[in-house]
Amino acid sequence: MAGNSQRRGATRKAGTKKGARVGTGGHSRRALEGKGPTPKAEDRPYHVAHKRKVEAEKGATSGRPSSGRPAAGASRSAAGRKGGRTSSTHEIVGGRNSVLEALRAGIPVSTVYIASRLEADDRTKEIVSIAADARYPLLEVGRAELDRLTDGAVHQGVAIQVPPYEYLDPDDLLDTAEASQTTPLIVALDGVTDPRNLGAVLRSAGAFGAHGVLVPERRAAGVTASAWKVSAGAAARVPVARATNLTRALQELRAAGVFVVGLDAGGDVPLADLPFATDPLVLVVGSEGKGLSRLVREQCDAIASIPIASAVESLNAGVAAGIALYEVARQRA
Given a contact cutoff of 8 angstroms between Cβ atoms, the answer to whether 148 and 68 are in contact is yes
The kind and range of the H/E element at 285 are: strand 281-286
Residue 195 CB partners (closer than 8 Å, separation 6+): 81, 83, 221, 222, 223, 224, 226, 227, 230
Going by pLDDT thresholds of 50, 70 and 90, the confidence category of residue 50 is low
User: Residue 280 — pLDDT band, cuts 50, 70, 90?
Assistant: very high
Task: Write down the pLDDT at residue 290.
Answer: 81
From the list 235, 225, 68, 151, the residue with the least C-alpha distance to 76 is 68
Cα distances (Å, whole numbers) of residue 182 to 147, 158, 332: 43, 36, 11
Say yes or no to pLDDT of 38 above 50: yes
Residue 34, pLDDT > 70, answer: no
How many percent of the chain have pLDDT more than 70? 72
Residue 1: other Cβ atoms inside 10 A: 5
Question: pLDDT tens digits, residue range 233-275?
Answer: 888 899 999 999 999 999 999 999 999 999 988 888 999 999 9
Separation CA 259–CA 275 (nearest Å): 9
Compute the mean pLDDT over every residue in the chain, rounded to the nearest whole number.
79
| pLDDT, position 40 | 59
| Rounded Cα gap, residues 26 and 332, in angstroms | 95
Q: How far apart are CA 215 and CA 313, in angstroms?
A: 25
Enumerate residues 6+ apart whose C-beta is below 8 A from 278.
Answer: 183, 331, 332
Coil vs helix vs strand at 322: helix
| Least confident range of 36-50, 196-210, 291-305 | 36-50
Going by their DSSP bridges, the two strands 281-286 and 259-263 should be labelled as: parallel
Instruction: Tell me the pLDDT band of 332, cut-offs 50, 70 and 90.
Output: very high
52-65 per-residue burial string, b: 16 or more CB within 10 A, e: under 16: bbebbeebeeeebb
